[in-house]
């Protein structure tokens, strides 16, 4: 149980670090937020918990493919924010991301990459 609490605390600290940095500097917050810190922590947790190398490698592989369809959200969010407000923009961003995931999965399936069941 102590291990799970440690994992939660360290992972939460990354989110707090990003939000605190963003309060001080938009660029610094964006830079730190763009770093794959959560993914690196997940890879470390998998390794420390003695998961097979194939599982760790698959996690990195799928993370790459799942990041790509999230990128349009980062372009749309700033555009919509001043026009429709925070919560509607957040909701629209989620919908846009889900649509992009679906479309991207259909495209990459043609190359033998299965992202969705």
* pLDDT score for 57: 97
Query: How far is residue 13's CA from residue 15's CA, in Å, rounded to a whole number?
Result: 5
2-6, 50-54, 72-76: lowest mean pLDDT where?
Answer: 2-6
Q: Which pLDDT tens digit goes with each residue over 59-103?
A: 999 999 999 999 999 999 999 999 999 999 999 999 999 999 999
| Mean of pLDDT values over 34-53 | 93
Residue 38: pLDDT over 90: no
pTM for this predicted structure: 0.77
């Amino acid at each position: 149980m102590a291990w799970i609490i440690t994992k939660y605390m360290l992972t939460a600290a990354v989110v707090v670090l990003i939000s605190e940095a963003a309060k001080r500097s938009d660029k610094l917050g964006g830079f730190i937020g763009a770093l794959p810190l959560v993914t690196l922590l997940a890879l470390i947790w998998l390794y420390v918990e003695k998961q097979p190398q194939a599982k760790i490698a698959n996690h990195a592989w799928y993370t790459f493919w799942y990041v790509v369809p999230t990128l349009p959200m980062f372009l749309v969010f700033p555009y919509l924010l001043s026009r429709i407000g925070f919560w509607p923009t957040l909701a629209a961003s989620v919908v846009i991301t889900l649509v992009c995931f679906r479309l991207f999965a259909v495209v990459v399936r043609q190359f033998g990459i299965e992202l969705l069941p």
